[in-house]
Amino acid sequence: MSVLAHGIGSQHDLPLSPFYAFAGAFAALFVSFLALGLLWSVSRFHGDRAGRPLPVVLQRLADARPTRTAARVLGLAAALFVLLHLLLGPNGPEHNPAAGTVYVLLWVGLVPASLLLGPVWRLLNPLRTLHLLVCRALGRDPVAGRPLPVHLGLWPAAVGLLAFTWLELVAPDPASSTALLLFFVLHGVVHLAGAARHGARWFDHADAFEVYSGLLARLSPLGRRPADRRLVLRSPFNGLDAVPQIPGLVATVCVMLGSTAYDGFSDAPSWITTVQTSPLGRTTAATLGLLAAVALVATLHALCAGATRLISGQLRHPLTAFAHSLVPIALGYLVAHYFTLFVTEGPHTVMVALGADNPVPPEPPLTPGGIATLQVAAIVIGHVLGVVAAHDRSVRLFPPARAVAGQLPLLALMIAYTIGGLTLLLA
């Protein structure tokens, strides 16, 4: 594979004036903030209660047993494909599609798949399917099990995401068959053991890929109403508004943001020199860098939450109350950093899987200027969507006299994240 230096690579291709990029971003944030403050005084989002039901025929097709069975078979087949190539294939991404399948088609491909189709990994997840098959063979209810501790929340998923991003961005040889096999063996053992103890609901809270896909799917126009299980077309803001405020949510989103930020920073010449010359060793220094990036994102969010609580005077859980507004920001970073990778290395991985010998990756569909515009636009739009989501939540939670003032810490946070995101792209 042409670009797998730290898992899935990165590319600085921004022939764009930093002045115009920053000016446009700040203008978009301030204009949206002022417009919302003047024109949006009542909450307009209704979470899982919103949406227009899809035609019954589409509902039946989506919920039909053959449809779900086909998805599960596809997930198992893909897992078996990767496993066989890791065990029997050559050790190198140039001739072995396993690394590209994991880092590009799975990790990056889950972003557009979840945005278009909803939480698709819930059906494709081979571990969930294996657990289902074992339960059926033993005559057990797959949902049965000990209740999950309330305080557990999404913390296992946050830890799993951090472990996977460490493998992708820090491990000495993330594309090696040994590294990938070790990770997925440990991943499978942990989650099958968790499901055996707590039932299938374990995957909803603990499986990193399911939670990752589920959070991104909150921005999908397709949703499902919990009350009647109907598939609906909805505003992505309503899906975002329905993000559950549970322990570990902030940690999960901060890992998504921080790891993407570290990925953008990790190929800077100054950081490469620092890591290579560190007396701690490359892996230790890079690990500390990844943890520092996640900690910085979390610290900024915690400071914002503290300031919001002081202004509001009554908000009990400000950390989780506005954590949903970070999801579109994380999405913007993902699009900005991985678009070029997905449209070039994705087809390259498919060609390698089909047996092509040293295929040439296709050229990006956009010019460098087009890619630059897309990357900046993704970050700016992600932050604007975050501002809208935060504003609607604030007018619902705060007294009218404090609704706008209560958002000032959030605006400061959005500006800080915007500066950081654009700086990483423009550096």
Give the strand order in the sheet containing 52-53.
52-53, 231-233, 222-224
Q: How far apart are CA 292 and CA 241, in angstroms?
A: 29
- State in Å, rounded, how far the first CA of the chain is from the last one: 25
| DSSP labels, 284-298 | HHHHHHHHHHHHHHH
Which residues have C-beta within 8 Å of that of residue 168, sequence separation ≥ 6?
Answer: 6, 7, 8, 103, 107, 174, 263
Q: Tell me, what amino acid is at 142?
A: P
pLDDT confidence of residue 249: 94
CA geometry: angle 243, 114, 298, nearest 5 deg: 45
Helix H or strand E segment including 264: helix 249-266
pLDDT confidence of residue 124: 95
Which residues have C-beta within 8 Å of that of residue 394, sequence separation ≥ 6?
Answer: 322, 403, 404, 406, 407, 410
Which backbone phi and psi does 233 adopt, to 5 degrees?
-90, 130
Q: Is-above-0.95 flag for pTM?
A: no
DSSP 8-state symbol, 364: P
Weakly modelled stretches of the chain, pLDDT under 70: 1-17, 19-20, 312-316, 318, 401, 403, 406, 425-427
Query: Which pLDDT tens digit goes with each residue over 126-143?
Result: 999 999 999 999 999 999
Q: How far apart are CA 134 and CA 140, in angstroms?
A: 8
Q: Tell me, what amino acid is at 114?
A: S
Q: How far apart are CA 313 and CA 86, in angstroms?
A: 55
Burial 338-370 (b: 16+ CB within 10 A, else e): bbbbbbbbbebbbbbbeeeeebebeebeeeeee
CA 77 and chain centroid, separation: 24
